[in-house]
Amino acid sequence: MSTRLCYATLFLVNSILASVMTTNWAIEKVKHISWGIINLKCEQDTCYGVLAVHRICFALSLWHLILMFVVWGVSDSRHPRAKIQNGWWLPKILGWVAMVVLSFVIPNGFFTFYSRYIAMAGAGIFLIIQLVLLVDFAHNFAESCIESWEENGGEDSNNDTWRWVLLITTGGSYVGFIAITVVGYVFFAQPGCNLNQFFITLNLLLCLGVSTLAIHPRIQEANIKSGLAQAGMVTIYCSYLICSSLVGEPVGEDNKQCNPLYHSTGSRSTMLILGTLFTIVSICYCTSNAATRSQSLMNNNEYEPLSSDSALPLMENGTSSAQLRAQVLRQAVAEGSLPASALDDLDDENDDSSNHNSNDDEKQGVQYSYAFFHFIFMVASMYVAMLLTNWNTANADKGEGIWIGRSIVAVWVKVVSSWICIVLYAWTLVAPVLLPDRDWS
């Protein structure tokens, strides 16, 4: 946990530093101290800020790329290279600072190629991972509330705390969904704003559709824990994406009624600050969470799981019962039948257990892939760069800096993301019905 917190904190600091580069003050500073190194063929001063954002985010991506290869193949905390993952913070931080500084002397041509192709691809990968995690969070949260309520006695219990948590979350999500939809129609769907009307109406229909699907008898028969709680969380998030895209939609003088907040400096500043903070915090959470999900995709333990047919020959070949018990426990943990804590008892039975830290939860194998951990942070940094530069379409008036999210490309990225999120959630509902032979537990 402390390791994840440290990396997330560094990611947060790097993201804040990159976002500062979008302000007019930072743009002027970069322009002043560049000494001609950043020689832009661009008439707008915001290009200095765009390149500065990509340089800072590139430095962090490169930093994680190097660490990814350094810790590749580490199987447990006793491995010599595991100390690089969980320690050596001063050299690592100094290395990050050095990369940030050196990134400003790299020629502009490299970052033109990097931002258009490499960073764009990495940002797309992280965007899909972020949406998958959101759907996964909605399912896990609702199912955890239901399980906690059932463990406390369910209908026969006097403690309805978890039930109320679920009801308040569900009700609040749909109240927020209705409020966002009404605000969207009132402020952004005036006559003549056909595209805005299309976005809001389609989102309304899709959200109502998946909400109805979530409580369909066939769906609940395949997954008894499916309900409006998960659908509500997905619904309000997708509605937020649509509303956020409409707030940043660029408009001209002839159709400024389609986005009345576009020319309001105070409203734009408030939305910018809140949106930036929400985005960076959510990315930090999704990044640290996604980075430790690799154990469900690969087996990182140093032992080889036994097949069920191999236990008897081991007994016949003279394997002790203690060794057989250890192998069976490891197999059960690898298959998910037992928690990883079941392996802690094995250390008490080993003669050399006193040589290891009793609080070390990675003696039997790492809890997550260190290499995959750094890969997630690497593509997340690319995603931040795309967000802060409006997906390489940053544009602003003189003296205003870069307004995050204020471009038609950024609008479409958010809208399409909301559609993908709804499709992913709908698939988790219908997949157990369409493919009943698969294990969806």
Do 221 and 347 have their domain in common?
Answer: no
Cα-trace Rg, the chain: 26
Do 372 and 409 have their domain in common?
Answer: yes
Contact 250, 407 (CB under 8 A): yes
Note whether residue 440 is domain-resident: no
Do 169 and 244 have their domain in common?
Answer: yes
Do 91 and 22 have their domain in common?
Answer: yes
How many whole angstroms from its chain centre is CA 423? 18
Tell me the two tokens of residue 354: 């006193």
Do 225 and 321 have their domain in common?
Answer: no
Note whether residue 439 is domain-resident: no
Instruction: Report d(CA 25, CA 109) in Å as an integer.
Output: 25
Q: In which domain, by residue range, is 269 found?
A: 2-299+365-434
Note whether residue 8 is domain-resident: yes
pLDDT tens series, the chain, 441 aa:
778 888 888 988 998 888 888 777 777 777 666 655 555 545 455 567 778 888 899 999 999 999 999 888 877 777 778 788 888 889 999 999 999 988 888 877 788 888 888 988 988 888 888 888 888 888 888 888 888 877 776 665 666 778 888 889 999 999 999 999 999 998 888 888 888 899 999 999 999 999 999 988 888 888 877 888 889 999 999 998 898 888 878 766 566 778 777 666 555 556 556 656 666 666 666 666 665 565 444 444 433 333 333 333 444 444 445 556 666 667 766 666 666 666 665 555 454 444 445 555 555 566 777 888 889 889 988 988 888 887 777 654 444 555 555 678 888 888 999 999 999 999 999 988 888 877 766
Which residues have a Cβ under 8 Å from the Cβ of 432 and sit 6 or more positions away?
219, 222, 223, 438, 440
